[in-house]
Amino acid sequence: MGPTARSRGASGHAAVNAGAQHRRMELAAILELYALEGRGTRLNVGMNRVQHAWQCARLARNAGAAPSLQLAAWLHEMGEMRRGLHDPEAGLAGEGHAVAPARQGAAWLEPLFGAAVAEPVALQAAARRCLASTKPDFRRRIPAGWLAQIERDGGLQTPREARLFLQRPYAPQAIRLCLWDADAHDPGLWPPSLESALDTLRRLMWLLQTAAPLPAAVVMPRAGVGRRLTARPRGS
């Protein structure tokens, strides 16, 4: 192998390593963000985002959903959570989900976990409109504020719009996710611990990541004290 070929090979390896490092940072950032959110409370519903996400993912798991849809249930509020880092009052539970943050969150998730995780998240606004149009009982079970958000998202779908939506890739998964999201608002239902909840999330991310492995360990901030969560090998 000549010097030019070796140089190209080294450059290629460097690019791969840089991409792997970026993914490790993003996956660690998810766990750190959920660790921080797990200590907070949404004052309007008496819950925090980790509690809601855990309930949503628990419903998905109990329904026999694929791991990709379970992870979508965990991460369906990533757009709002990332926006909340800059605006703590934005996107509180029970107030509906703005279209832009949901799509932004899905766009951020897709390179990390693929379309099977990202697309059900991206389609949440349309799924709510479809369910509100075709399932009258859905409007009675959704959190306060969702009807107003549905109107902002475009209102009820016509029968033709609903049929066309249901033919889209990942629409059935988006519908299921929307139903779990609506039901995951029990202030009295908590995971056994924040650590066990985040360990479940970490395992799903490890299983479904598209490229680089998780870091060997990430520090989960907890009231100013770092608590270490060690990644386990695939299949453990």
Phi, psi of 228 (to 5 degrees): -90, 130
Contact 51, 192 (CB under 8 A): no
Cα 118 to Cα 162: distance, rounded to the nearest angstrom: 21
- What's the chain's average pLDDT? 78
Q: Read off the pLDDT of each residue in 146-173 and give the average, rounded to a whole number.
A: 94
Which of the two residues, 233 and 118, has the higher pLDDT score?
118
Nearest to 107 by CA among 122, 87, 124: 122
**41 against 68, higher pLDDT:** 68
Cβ-Cβ contacts under 8 Å for 94 (sequence gap 6 or more): 42, 44, 45, 143, 144, 145, 146, 185
Q: In 3D, which of 121, 39, 110 has the Cα closest to residue 73?
A: 121
Q: Is residue 45 very low, low, confident or very high in pLDDT (cuts 50, 70, 90)?
A: low
More confident residue, 177 or 232: 177
Q: Which of 32-36, 80-84, 216-220 has the lowest mean pLDDT?
A: 216-220
Q: Write down all domains in the chain, each with its CATH number in brackets.
A: 3-230 (1.10.3210.10)
Q: CA 232 to CA 77: how far, in whole Å? A: 26
Summarised one tens digit per residue, pLDDT across range 166-217 is 999 999 999 999 999 999 989 999 999 999 999 999 999 989 987 544 444 4
Strand partners of residue 218: 229
Instruction: Please give the pLDDT value at position 89.
Output: 46
Degrees to nearest 5, angle at CA 73 with 71 and 79: 95
Confidence at residue 90, expressed as pLDDT on a 0 to 100 scale: 45
Q: To 5 degrees, how large is the angle CA 35–CA 37–CA 43?
A: 155
Percent of the chain with pLDDT over 70: 71
CB distance 97 to 106 below 8 Å: no
- Confidence label for 142 from pLDDT (cuts 50, 70 and 90): confident
**Residues 28, 212: Cα–Cα separation, whole Å:** 12
Name which residue leads in pLDDT, 42 or 195: 195
User: Lowest mean pLDDT: which of 88-92, 128-132, 157-161?
Assistant: 88-92
Can you give the pLDDT at residue 162? 96
Instruction: Please compute the mean of the pLDDT values over residues 42-49 and round it to a whole number.
Output: 68
52/183 Cα distance (integer angstroms): 9
* Burial class of residue 224 in the structure, from the number of CB atoms within 10 Å of its CB (0-12 exposed, 13-18 middle, 19+ buried): exposed
Pairwise pLDDT comparison (2 vs 222), residue with the higher score: 2
Averaged pLDDT for residues 162-168 = 97
In this structure, what token pair is assigned to residue 88? 């703590």
Query: What is residue 185's DSSP assignment?
Result: -
Radius of gyration from C-alpha coordinates of the chain = 19
Give the H/E segment covering residue 221.
Answer: strand 217-222
Q: Work out whether the CA dihedral 58, 59, 60, 63 comes out positive or negative.
A: positive
Least confident of 21-25, 124-128, 143-147, 167-171: 21-25
Question: Higher pLDDT residue, 107 or 222?
Answer: 107
pLDDT score of 223: 37
At 225 the pLDDT is 33
